[in-house]
């Protein structure tokens, strides 16, 4: 509706849910209806198409899964300025010719949707029941009747759906049998959602579970062990893990691993893994193949890079910045001048503006002197100011910063009592290696780029390279 704030991740959450059940839930794409950014009319049309398909092909042994991510009130879903009564979805579920139907609703005040005759509320974290092998209906909501359902920028999705997806990928597989049941996925999503929203401004969010089930056995929702592409973590020690896509930074799972292995169903591609180690994170990059799995064991994990842990708040501990002072060398800025030598001062600061892209900013001031190889009395002093931003790759005993930088050169030439000055814009790429990450470090810097030099024959783009070595102080 007009008063609803735009949902930034609802469509992405729905796509991820579809992909997961296609890869690890036995879903045949032709049997699914994915409706994104639609109004109530389009949703009703999609439900009608699916109803016709089930009437023709479904059997009592089949299962129906409905996932909804939208704004809502206690009675209706808000869809592109229109309303869809939740009771219409319930009627669709009740009339479906399948044995078991499960609906996940991720919306504000979604707990009100479960006030339906015949459904038994179960609000505690662990649902105890001998579950639904024969028939029944289940509704899982992201929040209680009077709570807001929240999205998270760092997760690039809603808290509830993110943790539900992580659980269904395999993080919720409590008994490590390669399958994730309805009970396991709900217990996992409930606990992680409550934990994640405990200190948010909107307040703690409590998923709800209602069901009417008859039969014995377990309702298996996904089987990560059968997914075409998988990540298998066999590191025996328990600990906290984060799995994020290298391509877009999407966090695929944040979970606490117990003893034993964990298998996650993931789309093929590159991933960045972090495992918590006392006062730091150990970071590792892996590639998940299109078919098969990649194994993360203790020997492979030991090849990872240590990353200093950052705590929330202004008084965060760990690395915050560094200052470097040392000698400097640069290639010549004009044909008849030699190389310049001098010194430089560089300051770096932790600035996690975009994880994986911009994590540190720096400024460099350098002064160098050179003389003409044609006229021995012509001297040049060159000052440069450069500002850069980029990534900091942290190791246990060293660190590397890398990224682009922009700046300017100020040039002063003098000969026989006369002098002239000029300025030149500069752009390039800089790197600095810090050997020692606590206290005093040995620092080696280097940069390559170009400057538009004001030469007698006119402005000319000249390639420049510089290097430096000195001591740095980490703080």
More confident residue, 213 or 445: 445
Nearest Cα residue to 244 out of 227, 269, 262: 269
Take residue 115 and report the two structure tokens written for it: 């006030």
d(C-alpha 66, C-alpha 122), whole Å: 20
pLDDT tens-digit readout, 405-422: 999 999 998 888 888 898
Taking the mean position of all CA atoms in its chain, how far away is CA 272?
Answer: 9
More confident residue, 358 or 199: 358
* Residue ranges with strand state E in 372-439: 379-394, 398-415, 418-435
What's the rounded mean pLDDT across residues 234-242?
86
d(C-alpha 243, C-alpha 259), whole Å: 18
pLDDT of residue 294: 94
Which of 81-95, 218-232, 316-330 has the lowest average pLDDT? 316-330
The answer on pLDDT for 404 being more than 80 is yes
pLDDT of residue 118: 36
Partners of 308 in the β-ladder: 280
pLDDT of residue 312: 33
Task: Band the pLDDT of 469: cuts 50, 70, 90.
Answer: very high
Which of 56-60, 73-77, 140-144, 194-198 has the lowest average pLDDT? 73-77
pLDDT of residue 216: 62
Could you give the percent of the chain with pLDDT greater than 70? 85
The answer on pLDDT for 130 being more than 70 is no
pLDDT of residue 358: 87
The answer on pLDDT for 121 being more than 80 is no
pLDDT of residue 403: 95
pLDDT of residue 437: 63
More confident residue, 249 or 101: 101
pLDDT of residue 468: 93
Take residue 318 and report the two structure tokens written for it: 């760990």
Mean pLDDT for all residues in the chain:
82
CA dihedral (414, 419, 424, 430) positive or negative: positive
* Burial group, residue 250, by CB count within 10 angstroms (0-12, 13-18, 19+): middle
The answer on pLDDT for 126 being more than 50 is no
d(C-alpha 298, C-alpha 301), whole Å: 5
**Which residue, chain included where needed, has tokens 């040039």?**
411
pLDDT of residue 115: 41
- Distance of CA 398 to CAs 282, 301, 392, 470, Å? 14, 18, 10, 15
Whether the Cβ atoms of residue 409 and residue 450 lie closer than 8 Å to each other: no
Task: Band the pLDDT of 49: cuts 50, 70, 90.
Answer: very high
pLDDT tens-digit readout, 321-345: 889 999 999 988 777 788 899 999 9
The answer on pLDDT for 316 being more than 90 is no
pTM for this structure? 0.59
What's the rounded mean pLDDT across residues 279-286?
81
Which of 240-254, 305-319, 359-373, 429-443 has the lowest average pLDDT? 305-319
* Burial group, residue 248, by CB count within 10 angstroms (0-12, 13-18, 19+): exposed
The string of DSSP letters for 61-90 reads T-EEEEEEESEE-SSEEEETTEEEEHHHHH
Which of 96-105, 346-355, 403-412 has the lowest average pLDDT? 346-355
Could you give the percent of the chain with pLDDT greater than 90? 33
Take residue 181 and report the two structure tokens written for it: 């049941």
d(C-alpha 434, C-alpha 400), whole Å: 6
């Amino acid at each position: 509706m007009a008063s609803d704030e735009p949902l930034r991740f609802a469509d992405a959450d729905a796509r991820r849910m579809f992909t997961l059940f296609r890869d690890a839930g036995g879903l045949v794409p032709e049997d699914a209806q994915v409706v994104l950014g639609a109004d109530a009319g389009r949703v009703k049309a999609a439900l009608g198409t699916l109803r016709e398909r089930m009437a023709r092909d479904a059997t009592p042994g089949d299962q129906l899964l409905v996932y909804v991510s939208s704004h809502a009130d206690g009675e209706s879903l808000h869809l592109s300025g229109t309303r869809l009564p939740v009771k219409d979805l319930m009627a669709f579920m009740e009339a479906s010719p399948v044995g078991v139907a499960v609906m996940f609703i991720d919306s504000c005040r979604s707990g009100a949707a479960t006030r339906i005759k015949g459904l038994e509320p179960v609000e505690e974290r662990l649902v105890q029941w001998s579950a639904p092998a024969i028939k029944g209906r289940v509704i899982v909501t992201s929040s209680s009747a009077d709570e807001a359902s929240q999205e998270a920028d760092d997760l690039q999705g809603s808290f509830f759906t993110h943790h539900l997806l992580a659980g269904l990928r395999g993080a919720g597989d409590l008994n490590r049998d390669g399958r994730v049941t309805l009970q396991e996925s709900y217990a996992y999503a409930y606990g992680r959602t409550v934990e994640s929203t405990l200190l948010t401004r909107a307040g703690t969010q409590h998923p709800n579970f209602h069901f009417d089930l008859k039969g014995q056995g377990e309702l298996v929702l996904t089987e990560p062990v059968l997914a075409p592409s998988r990540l298998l973590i066999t590191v025996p020690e328990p600990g906290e893990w984060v799995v994020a896509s290298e391509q877009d930074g999407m966090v695929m799972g944040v979970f606490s691993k117990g003893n034993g292995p964990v298998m996650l169903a993931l789309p093929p591609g590159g991933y960045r893994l972090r495992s918590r180690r006392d006062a730091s994170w150990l970071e590792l990059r892996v590639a998940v193949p299109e078919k098969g799995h990649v194994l993360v064991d203790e020997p492979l994990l030991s090849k990872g890079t240590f990353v200093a842990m950052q705590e929330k708040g202004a008084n965060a501990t760990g690395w915050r910045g560094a200052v470097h002072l040392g000698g400097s060398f640069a290639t010549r800025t004009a044909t008849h001048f030699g190389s310049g030598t001098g010194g430089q001062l560089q300051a770096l600061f932790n600035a996690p503006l975009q994880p994986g892209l911009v994590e540190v900013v720096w400024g460099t001031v350098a002064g160098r002197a050179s003389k003409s190889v044609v006229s021995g009395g012509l001297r040049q002093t060159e000052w440069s100011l450069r500002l850069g931003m980029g990534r900091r790759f942290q190791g246990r005993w060293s660190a590397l910063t890398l990224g682009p930088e922009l700046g300017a050169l100020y040039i002063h030439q003098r000969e026989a009592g006369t002098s002239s000055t000029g300025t030149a814009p500069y752009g390039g790429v800089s790197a600095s290696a810090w050997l020692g990450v606590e206290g005093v470090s040995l620092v080696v810097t280097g940069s390559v780029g170009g400057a538009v030099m004001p030469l007698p024959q006119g402005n000319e783009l000249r390639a420049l390279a510089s290097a430096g070595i000195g001591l740095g102080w980490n703080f």
